[in-house]
Amino acid sequence: MHNRLVGTDLIRSYLNTLSNGPGVYRMLDGNHKPLYVGKAKNLRKRVSCYSKYKGHSPRIQQMIRATYFMMFLSTKTETEALLLEHNLIKQLRPKYNVLLRDDKSFPYIFISTEHDFPRIEKYRGKKTKPGRYYGPFANAFAVNRTLETLQKVFLLRSCTDREVAVGNRPCLNYHLKKCSGPCGGKISKEDYAKLVADANDFLSGKSKRVQDKLVREMVSASRAMKFELAAAFRDRIQAITKIHPLQGVNPDKIREADIFALNVESGHACIQVYFIRSNQNWGNKDYYPKIGIDMPNSEVMQAFLGQFYLNRDPARILILSDDIENKELMEKLLTEKIDNRVRIIVPQKGEKRDLVLDALRNAKESLARKMAESATQLRLLEKAAETFSLKKIPERIEVYDNSHIQGAHAVGAMIVSGREGFIRSEYRKFNIPVNQIENKGDTAMMKNVFARRFRINEKMEQSSHKENYPDLIVIDGGKGQLSIVSGLLSEAGLGYIPIVAIAKGPDRNSGRERIYLKDRTELEIGQSDPLRYFVQRLRDEAHRFAIGAHIKRRSKALSLTKLDDIDGLGTVRKHILLMKFGSTKEVSRASIDELSMAKGISRNLAKKIYDYFNHEN
């Protein structure tokens, strides 16, 4: 039998085939799973560093020994190699790289420039809509809190375009003094434009100018004996003064910056991120990247920045607690991304250093809390392994639940938990095709979800996704669901996966749930046992996620109209018709001439719409 080269022998065998130019290399294990992705200015020189065990940390030596295959890709420039490295790390999630666990987009405050009465609203996603974007904000709480205060100060609407177009009834926010009332015809376009200009000034960092203007208007109203108007200005001034303490640290000399502070303890890391825009702090967020126990701070910080900015635009200045090895290269990459110079600094004194120290203090406190929570989570997982007779401490627990109303808009939900708690990036929802299920009960729906999750009816190699199988399955249901799911998995050769069912208690009493193992044995777990609370918390999270997915599906179905069935009529033109005629019913009554008068509706499309509602059959 041929002895395959492994480790340093394998790596040495590649050296003569490699170029001296830039590129990216991948190290793979015996199952072709990625171990490590790295970039190099000189591929041959960089890879040759791994051709000997000597001089490497135990972690890297272990990685070299596990290497059975390598892959290489040459690039034109080192900058291109750096970008490709970060993309591959995000895509492949290799075992020995620093991994960013949370990669969600950040919310912005958006004010349109297309509408006569622009809304002020929270916005996520690509900046494709014409308007002004302010942020990013670190989380939804920070942006919602700021939006609420801004509505009190500038009275910009949050009501729909349709309410404004009708213009005959002020919204609830108008009566709560959070809206100037364009929806009820209470304000002119010119006066509303002044409010929009003030809001833009404030969000651009000119809050002092806006506050002074409100004070002048309050004094003027008071002198004119318009005391109710003066009181309204006073309330708006008080709201604007309250927003600054909510934002925390607001630097005087830094207009725009992203601040990163890293704290590492015992192989765990926390990076605290601050967003400074227009001299205002738009919130902070904790990140807990997966790292190796012997990784230097510079490597952790550089890898984190590369993955963090893959789908985000950087600020003009990045302020770090720890320097990175390829600073000039990272600056070049980010500068090319936004077509504007980006600087990376590690301050030693002054306001910038104070901001880094403040972020570092928060990083240390957050990591201490996280490690304490992880220790508690580990104890609970150990108790679960013992109680449920598992072969090992579960690394991945999958929990399932369904949500529907008498079978309508049915959704199955899967949530995932592990040593770090809930793994939200792994959550999945399944839109259940009830019309394709003979028995439309919960048990049949659960069977449909499991068949799709484990690809039981697909003609494919199950081994290709076996590494993602759970160590424990928890289902929200009784013995019936447990029996069906157990049988289904056993028939597919997956009967070795442990399953636990948690059934509702008598009179659906929370706290008196019954917990069953795969053989339908009921477990006796005390009412005050932490393990019972743990299982309940898993079930409740699955229930929350299932209900949320069901509500979204139901809301989408309710928003559909007959217009959605007309070929060639997209979302924009459907919206134009509804705004012009008020309802689908009125559209159906319109003539071809009336329909063709709507913006973007050609005569051919108008005839198609008319024929759809007036065909003989």
pTM: 0.70
Predicted confidence at residue 467, as pLDDT, reads: 57
Contact 559, 571 (CB under 8 A): no
For the record, the structure tokens of 214 come out as 């409100």
pLDDT in tens, 565-577: 777 777 778 777 8
What would the mean pLDDT of 432-452 be, rounded to a whole number?
Answer: 77
pLDDT at 194 over 80: yes
Predicted confidence at residue 511, as pLDDT, reads: 58
**Poorest-confidence range of 198-202, 271-275, 602-606?**
198-202
3 state DSSP class of 423 = coil
Q: What would you report as the CA-atom Rg of the chain, rounded to the nearest whole angstrom?
A: 30
Contact 71, 84 (CB under 8 A): no
Q: What is the DSSP string of 450-489?
A: HHHHTTTTS-S-GGGGGGG--SEEEEES-HHHHHHHHHHH
> 253, 256, 295: which is closest to 274 by C-alpha?
256
DSSP 266: T
End-to-end CA separation in angstroms for the chain: 74
pLDDT at 245 over 50: no
Annotation: CATH topology of 562-614? DNA polymerase; domain 1 (1.10.150)
What would the mean pLDDT of 449-474 be, rounded to a whole number?
Answer: 72
For the record, the structure tokens of 242 come out as 């309250």
Q: What is the DSSP string of 104-149?
A: PPPPEEEEESSSSS--EEEE-S---SSEEEE---SSHHHHHHHHHH
Predicted confidence at residue 462, as pLDDT, reads: 45
Q: What angle do CA 305, 268, 40 make, to 5 degrees?
A: 40
Taking the CA atoms of 109, 112, 117 and 119 in sequence, report the sign of the dihedral they define.
Answer: negative
Instruction: Give the whole-angstrom CA distance, residue 55 versus residue 48.
Output: 13
What would the mean pLDDT of 340-362 be, rounded to a whole number?
Answer: 92
For the record, the structure tokens of 421 come out as 């708690």
Predicted confidence at residue 2, as pLDDT, reads: 44
Predicted confidence at residue 463, as pLDDT, reads: 41
Instruction: Give the whole-angstrom CA distance, residue 188 versus residue 182.
Output: 8
Instruction: Give the whole-angstrom CA distance, residue 159 versus residue 425.
Output: 32
pLDDT at 556 over 80: no
Contact 432, 410 (CB under 8 A): yes
Torsion angles phi and psi, residue 502, rounded to 5: -120, 110
Instruction: Give the whole-angstrom CA distance, residue 62 versus residue 430.
Output: 40
Beta strands in 472-550 (DSSP E): 472-476, 499-503, 514-517, 522-523
Annotation: CATH topology of 397-557? Nucleotidyltransferase; domain 5 (3.30.420)
Instruction: Give the whole-angstrom CA distance, residue 277 versus residue 258.
Output: 9
- Torsion angle in degrees (nearest 10) through CA of 312, 313, 317, 318: 10
Predicted confidence at residue 344, as pLDDT, reads: 95
Predicted confidence at residue 243, as pLDDT, reads: 60
Instruction: Give the whole-angstrom CA distance, residue 55 versus residue 499.
Output: 46
Count Cβ atoms within 10 A of the Cβ of residue 543 and give its class: 0-12 exposed, 13-18 middle, 19 or more buried: middle
Predicted confidence band of residue 461 (pLDDT cuts 50, 70, 90)? very low
Torsion angles phi and psi, residue 144, rounded to 5: -65, -40
> 3-state SS string over 318-384?
EEECCCCCCHHHHHHHHHHHHCCCCEEECCCCHHHHHHHHHHHHHHHHHHHHHHHHHHHHHHHHHHH
Predicted confidence at residue 114, as pLDDT, reads: 80
Considering the four listed CATH numbers 1.20.120, 3.30.420, 3.30.1120, 1.10.3470, the one that applies to the domain covering 256-277+286-369 is 3.30.420
Instruction: Give the whole-angstrom CA distance, residue 173 versus residue 179.
Output: 5
> 592, 563, 558: which is closest to 576 by C-alpha?
563
Predicted confidence at residue 440, as pLDDT, reads: 64
Contact 424, 551 (CB under 8 A): no
pLDDT at 251 over 80: no
Predicted confidence band of residue 284 (pLDDT cuts 50, 70, 90)? confident
The chain-wide mean pLDDT, for the chain, equals: 84
> 350, 216, 374, 213: which is closest to 288 by C-alpha?
374
3 state DSSP class of 59 = helix
For helices 189-203 and 140-154, angle between their N-to-C axes, nearest 10 degrees: 140
Predicted confidence at residue 272, as pLDDT, reads: 94
**Which residues on neighbouring strands pair with residue 418, listed in sequence order?**
421
Percent of the chain surpassing pLDDT 70: 90
Is-same-fold flag (256-277+286-369; 397-557)? Answer: yes
> 153, 198, 145, 212: which is closest to 179 by C-alpha?
153
> 469, 499, 470: which is closest to 485 by C-alpha?
499
Long-range contacts of 578-581 (CB under 8 A, 24+ apart): 578/162, 579/161, 579/162, 579/165
Domain ranges of the chain: 7-92, 108-247, 256-277+286-369, 397-557, 562-614
What would the mean pLDDT of 228-232 be, rounded to a whole number?
Answer: 75
CATH of domain 7-92: 3.40.1440.10
**Poorest-confidence range of 20-29, 35-44, 110-119, 393-402?**
110-119
pLDDT at 244 over 80: no
Cα-based distances in Å from 367 to 266, 271, 342: 11, 9, 29
DSSP 314: P
What would the mean pLDDT of 426-440 be, rounded to a whole number?
Answer: 77
Torsion angles phi and psi, residue 559, rounded to 5: -80, -10
Question: What is the residue whose two structure tokens read 């636990």?
Answer: 500
What would the mean pLDDT of 247-265 be, rounded to a whole number?
Answer: 80
Question: What is the residue whose two structure tokens read 């014409």?
Answer: 130
